[in-house]
Amino acid sequence: MIVFEQVIKKYNNQDKAAVDNLDLHIQKGEICMLVGPSGCGKTTTMKMINKLIKATSGKIYIDGMDIDQVDPINLRLDIGYVIQDTGLFPHMTIADNIATVPKEKGWSRNKIRNRVDELLELMDLDPEIYRDKKPKDLSGGQKQRVGVARALAADPPVMLMDEPFGALDPITRGKLQDEFLRIQEKIGKTIVFVTHDIDEALKMGDKIVVMRDGRVVQFGSPNEILSNPADEFVSELIGGNSNLKMMNLMKCKDIMRLIPNVDSRESSKAALKIANEHDVKNLLVTDHGQKLLGYVSYGSLASNDTVVSNLIKEIGETVTPKTTLQDVLSKMFSLGKKTVFVSGTKGTVEGIVTMDDLLKAVKDDEQISESDI
Amino acid sequence: MKIIEFALSRWESILKMTIDHFEIVLTAMLISILMGVAIGILITYNKTAAKVMLNIANIMMTIPSLALFSLLIPILGIGRAPAIAGLVLYTQLPIIRNVYTGILNIDPSIIEAARGMGLTRSKIMFRIKLPLAFPVIMAGVRTATVMGIGLGAIAAYIGAGGLGEYIFQGINRSNDKMILIGAVMVSLITIIIDRGLGFIQKKFEI
């Protein structure tokens, strides 16, 4: 989708190139993270895509089209652009801010109004409340939501994001990252995302480009970068705790196990039998095979000879299939339990994750070190 | 209260001179604002030009107003024309300077976002930069206008008419009433116009 061919950028009075002979292929529908320390050329690389910075030599193609052949204004109208300080126009309402590019493209008033409301809803901002507000009335997180909405307004196939969540507090940042990933699942844009935060890169990226001194040090998926850093520089950038970081990349649905049901009127012996058959330590208890009542543990079944309904425990807090393993682990700590249930939509229970599962999941990805032993 | 009687008995000529004064200053300020805003906008695109223009405007202001008006007589003769030209030259600095700094002081991330989204240079100027710099520009226009109304009185020296003439006549005839009435009317116009401009400035503040 976006291709760099031997792109070089030299600034006027410097011998060293800011971007040095860059070759890069960014696939359609992927989030490609450019990560590295300040001055590594990541922002320059991004800004060459919409010609805010002109490459000294080399070619850049978007969808096979040489951007040198395209008028910069037309090029930019088809590329969403989000920056760290949001750059919202303070004298315009939120609706007018979002409508900027659609207006340039000559959309009808009606179409623009509908699109603005649709985007505000997508960003979890009530149009009735926020449409006519000015940017100064919004919190930092809300402003950046509007910034993203504005970039998405004319539905561009490509988005450039320059540390969009960098100026936010960690809690808001995490929330916006999650929201953005959720939205990206629906819209499937090709995104070039600049950050200096490797954790953000690992979390958000389908691909990561690690850059230093204008060159690409490593290009790969977050998993590849974590499990196989190209050199010292990359492993230093990742820092310690690569196992924990790996857990951040995996989701509950990858490792959760299904658990069988037992009717609440069954005896504990019958329930034990089911548990043994499936080799599990917990069973879900249902009412007439339908309504979920709770769960019973292997221990209580073995030590009490009664009907299952007397042994039901409440399921309590659950995680979702999309929760990262790291969050599952912290959930276990906060609940003080070695198991946690995974709930689907509408209160159903889809499976279970235990501490052992977590350990196994991380170990599976550590085959190299295991074979070393 | 002899002075009020005096003013009432001559209200027709006072009103005519006030209107004259108003006309001269208004014409000058309209030209000055158009010119100053245009120059101010253009020099934001070129640092060297900005330095040169701001220096020229600065020098204009250091020339004593009386001398400036007199210097224009050989070129434009006497009467309204040189008076208006003098006022325009004299009031350029606050306008040019405020347009220039008002535009350059806009948060660069706003301009970058506008560029990145695909707005053309002129659209960025007219839809983003000028509206955002408007309060600062208006502050410059206010300063310039207040200066212009005061200076307008001196323009009577080169035969432009207006309230200045009334004051000069008062001086020649040693008539303090005339001087005082002229001065009060000039102040009155100044206050009214400054308030009016201030109201506009407030209304567009963000």
Cβ A52–B120 below 8 Å, yes or no?
no
pLDDT at A373: 39
Expressed in angstroms, the distance from the first to the final Cα of chain B is 47
B120-151 in b/e burial notation, b at 16+ Cβ within 10 A?
A: eeeebbebbbbebbbbbbbbbbbbbbbbbbbb
**Best of B105, B107, B117 to disrupt the A interface by mutation (most A CBs within 10 Å)?**
B117
Asked if A368 contacts A227 with a C-beta cutoff of 8 angstroms, the reply is: yes
Q: Which helix (H) or strand (E) holds B132?
A: helix B130-154
State the Cα–Cα distance between residues A368 and A18, nearest whole angstrom.
36
Q: How far is B191 from chain A (nearest CA, A)?
A: 29
Bridge partners of A341, per DSSP, are A318, A352
Mean pLDDT of A250-271: 83
State the Cα–Cα distance between residues B200 and B198, nearest whole angstrom.
5
Which of A34-38, A275-279, A293-297 is modeled with the greatest confidence? A34-38
Q: List chain A residues with CB under 8 Å of B120.
A: 73
Sequence-ordered list of residues with C-beta below 8 angstroms from that of A300, at least 6 positions apart, any chain? A268, A311, A313
Asked if A295 contacts A312 with a C-beta cutoff of 8 angstroms, the reply is: yes
Q: List chain A residues with CB under 8 Å of B109.
A: 83-87
The strand order across the sheet containing A339-343 reads: A318-319, A339-343, A349-354
Nearest to A101 among B107, B115, B117 (CB): B117
Strands in B119-169 per DSSP E:
none
Nearest to A104 among B110, B115, B119 (CB): B119
**HEC profile for A57-101?**
EEEEEECCEEHHHCCHHHHHHCEEEEECCCCCCCCCCHHHHHCHH
Weakest-pLDDT range from A120-124, B65-69, B117-121: B65-69
Q: How far is A262 from chain B (nearest CA, A)?
A: 59
Mean pLDDT of B49-66: 90
Mean pLDDT of A46-61: 93
Weakest-pLDDT range from A186-195, A358-367, B114-123: A358-367
**CB burial of residue A333 (10 Å; 0-12, 13-18, 19+):** exposed
Indicate the pLDDT class of residue A205, thresholds 50, 70 and 90. Answer: very high
Q: List chain A residues with CB under 8 Å of B206.
A: 90-91, 134, 136
If interface means Cβ-Cβ distance under 8 Å, which residues of chain A face chain B? 50, 52, 72-79, 81, 83-91, 100-101, 104, 134, 136, 147, 150-151, 160
Nearest to A81 among B111, B117, B120 (CB): B117
pLDDT at A110: 95
pLDDT at A289: 63
Q: List chain A residues with CB under 8 Å of B118.
A: 72-79, 101, 104
**Segment B146-173, tens digit of pLDDT:** 999 988 888 888 888 888 888 888 899 9
Asked if A86 contacts A30 with a C-beta cutoff of 8 angstroms, the reply is: no
Q: Which of A16, A49, A60, A58 is nearest to A212 (CA)?
A: A16
Asked if A322 contacts A246 with a C-beta cutoff of 8 angstroms, the reply is: no
Judged by a CB distance cut-off of 8 A, whether residue B117 touches chain A is yes
Indicate the pLDDT class of residue A114, thresholds 50, 70 and 90. Answer: very high
Q: Which of B29, B23, B147 is nearest to B80 (CA)?
A: B23
Phi/psi region, residue A329 (left: phi>0; alpha: psi -120 to 50; beta: rest), is alpha
Cα A6 to the center of its chain, rounded Å: 30
**Is ipTM beyond 0.90?**
no
Asked if A219 contacts A56 with a C-beta cutoff of 8 angstroms, the reply is: no
Mean pLDDT of A160-165: 94
Sequence-ordered list of residues with C-beta below 8 angstroms from that of A196, at least 6 positions apart, any chain? A35, A36, A37, A38, A42, A163, A166
**Segment A302-326, tens digit of pLDDT:** 888 888 888 888 887 888 888 888 8
Mean pLDDT of B67-95: 89
The strand order across the sheet containing A19-26 reads: A19-26, A2-9, A57-62, A65-66
Strand A282-287 with A261-263, pairing: parallel
Cβ A90–B109 below 8 Å, yes or no?
no
Q: Which of A48, A27, A80 is nearest to A214 (CA)?
A: A48
pLDDT at A365: 53
